[in-house]
Structure 1
Amino acid sequence: MSSYYLEDFKPGQIFTSSGRTITEADLTMFSMISGDWNPIHADAEFARGTRYGQRLVHGTLGIAICTGMLHQIGIFEKSVIAMLGLREWNFKQPIVVGDTVHLELEILSVEPGKSGRSGKLGRRFRLLNQRGEVAQEGDSDVLVLTHEGARQQQEQSSQAAQP
């Protein structure tokens, strides 16, 4: 899929990624990177005694997977400027090793900026498991170039490359 610019988005649009199965390596690597070795993630015997009966994947790994799946969808490849934040992120269902998840991204709002070069998109992320259940969801605004902003950026890059 090619990049979308601000004018290409409309509230209500939904973009869906392909699936990705969560592995033991994902759980372990995220524990190593984050330093979070809570027994619910790292101790199979402890986790067996919880209401889930098994280890859970870190909730924040779900957020990271969502943002990675944006790249796979490809709509922000050349147009994104910056993620502006996350709001009201909710963990609805646990994620466990072996779950296959995919991202459903809904455009909530499109707000042109004052300069005409960029604007803000309101987005809702939904991370769904293989049963179609929402495992996590939350909102995130992002600053995106307009077609004109991309053209101006390209011109500036071309001029800077000339000796």
Structure 2
Amino acid sequence: MSSYYLEDFQPGQIFVSSGRTITEADLTFFSMISGDWNPIHADVEFARQTRYQQRIVHGTLGIAICTGMLHQLGIFEKSVIAMLGLRNWNFLKPIMIGDTVHLELEITAIEPGKSGRSGKLGRRFRLINQHGEVAQDGESDVLVLTHEGARQQAEASAGSSAKPS
């Protein structure tokens, strides 16, 4: 899929990623990167005594997976300037090793910027498991180029890479 620019989006538009199965390696690598070795994630015997009777994947790994799946969609490949934040993120269902999840991204709002080069895009993320249940849900605005902004950026880049004769 090619990049979308601010004008290409509409509120209510939905994009769906392919699925991804969560592995033991995912949980272990995230524990190593984050330093979070809480027994609910790392200790099989401890986890057997909990309500889920097995280890659960870190909630923040779900957020990271959402952003990775967002990248796979390709719609922001050349147009994104910056993620502006995360808000109202809810962990609704646990994610377990062996679960297959996918991202459903909904465009919620479009706010053109004053310069005409970019604008703010409201987005809602839903991480959905193999049972069709929403495991995580949250919002994240992003700053995105307009077609004009992309053209100006390309011209500036071409001009700065031109070598004098």
CA positional deviation for 1:94? 0.1
Q: Which residue of 2 aligns with 1:122?
A: 122
RMSD after superposition: 0.3
Indicate yes or no: 2:148 matched with 1:148: yes
Q: Which residue of 1 aligns with 2:87?
A: 87
CA positional deviation for 1:62? 0.1
Which residue identity lines up with residue 141 of structure 1 in the other structure? Answer: D
CA positional deviation for 1:58? 0.1
CA positional deviation for 1:41? 0.1
CA positional deviation for 1:88? 0.5
For the residue of structure 2 that corresponds to 1:127, the secondary structure is strand
Which residue identity lines up with residue 4 of structure 2 in the other structure? Answer: Y
CA positional deviation for 1:46? 0.3
For the residue of structure 2 that corresponds to 1:85, the secondary structure is coil
Q: Which residue of 2 aligns with 1:29?
A: 29
CA positional deviation for 1:36? 0.1
Per-residue CA deviation, residues 9-49 of structure 1 (Å, 9 max, x unaligned), is 00000000000000000000000000000000000000000
Q: Which residue of 2 aligns with 1:17?
A: 17
Give the length in aligned residue pairs. 163
CA positional deviation for 1:142? 0.1
Report the identity percentage.
83
Q: Which residue of 2 aligns with 1:78?
A: 78
Alignment TM-score, normalising by the size of structure 1: 1.00
CA positional deviation for 1:126? 0.1
Q: Which residue of 2 aligns with 1:158?
A: 158
CA positional deviation for 1:66? 0.2
Which residue identity lines up with residue 153 of structure 1 in the other structure? Answer: Q
Alignment TM-score, normalising by the size of structure 2: 0.98
Superposed counterparts of 1:41-52, under 5 Å = 41-52=41-52
Whole-Å Cα distance in 1 between the matches of residues 42 and 101 of structure 2? Answer: 21
CA positional deviation for 1:76? 0.2
CA positional deviation for 1:4? 0.2
Which residue identity lines up with residue 94 of structure 1 in the other structure? Answer: P
Gaps of 5+ in 2: none
Whole-Å Cα distance in 1 between the matches of residues 67 and 135 of structure 2? Answer: 15
Which residue identity lines up with residue 77 of structure 2 in the other structure? Answer: E
